[in-house]
Amino acid sequence: MGGFEGHLYPGLSLFLYGLYHAGLVSRAVICNSPVQYPPHPTWSKGRWARLQQMCYIGFLKILSSCILVVQELHSIHWQLILITKMYHQRNFMYRKQWQHLTLYMSFFLSGCVDVVSQNLLPKRCIILEQGAQALSMWLLLPLMVSHMQDTEGVELQTHMLLIQALFLLTLVVTAELWAPNAWLLWTLKAFLYLVTGSWLIQIGFMLFRPISGYQWMDDDENDIAFATTFFCWHVAFSAFLMVWIYGFSMVWYCYLVADA
């Protein structure tokens, strides 16, 4: 995730995915329904009935992964090379780009699993979907740890905070394999997706396009300390956003939809 766009687009994808899960768990709690099987309205029986019954979250995962892959390849002018031989030595090339592509492909496969399970199998296989999601998170964690090599100062601090959120998210996603419809785990997952996504966007602005117009200094203790402070603000913002989504969902399902 190099460069401003390399932080903005993945962060935005994770943040929107967190919003989706926040709305999903809010509806499940309010409507007293399983999180994995939210209530659906009565569909028409016309020619578009099949399209209305499809679940599109897997397709959105695939689309976002493809966009991220294209953005990554565009950043290196489509010259993706794994190994080059110079002076009779083997050298690996574009190590960070290969890490990014490995990560994006894991989310792509997770989207493919969602599409197959939700739309093609005779009976939805939730454990398969959550297993693919957990696998992608367990791939993301060591890649991000390796990604911190050759970093220091503000960049190191921001990525350490990101890894903390990713580690907690990985634990929650793994725990879901044994409790697939526990709304508390889904709430934590939505919250951590929001924190991870918004903080990844913030890292892009801090490192590459600071809003103040002044670069963050690696040798300034105040800058490093405020990086942690900003992360705490993102945690508080995500918690407030979760409460707001639940309140809006309460009004929507209990009053607007009920009256309609």
Q: Report the percent of the chain where pLDDT is more than 90.
A: 35
Query: How distant, in Å, are the alpha carbons of 109, 125, 258, 259, 260 from that of 250?
Result: 34, 29, 11, 13, 15
Q: Which domain holds residue 215?
A: 3-259
Contact between 238 and 191 (Cβ < 8 Å): yes
Tell me how many domains the chain contains.
1
Which range (50-64, 137-151, 225-239) has the least confidence?
A: 50-64
Give the per-residue pLDDT at 43. 47
pTM summary value: 0.88
d(CA 181, CA 218): 44
> What does DSSP assign to residue 151?
-
Q: What number is the average pLDDT over the span 14-35?
A: 87
